[in-house]
Amino acid sequence: MSRWIVLPILALAAITFYSIGNFSSLIVFLIIGFMFEMAFWFKAFPKRRKKLKR
């Protein structure tokens, strides 16, 4: 359930920082936006654990 709350927040944060970075031409905001986007994608598709064969 928390994934469905966190994902839109991460996407909105990434879009916000990208737009601030493009408007003000500050690379720091673009980097922060990129970090939020990566957090979004890693949270959207978590690694699957392999099941142990017994």
Token pair, residue 44, equals 């959207």
Kindly report the pTM of this predicted structure: 0.62
Q: For residues 54 and 22, give the distance between their C-alpha atoms in angstroms, rounded to a whole number.
A: 54
pLDDT per residue as tens digits for the range 12-36: 888 888 888 777 777 887 888 888 8
Instruction: Note the pLDDT of residue 33.
Output: 84
- pLDDT number for residue 36: 84
| Residue from 45, 52, 34 nearest 7 by CA | 45
Q: What is the pLDDT of residue 52?
A: 67
Among candidates 40, 32, 42, which has minimal Cα distance to 6? Answer: 40
Q: 53: part of which helix (H) or strand (E)?
A: none
Within a 10 A sphere around the Cβ of 40, how many other Cβ atoms? 19
pLDDT at residue 14 in the model: 84
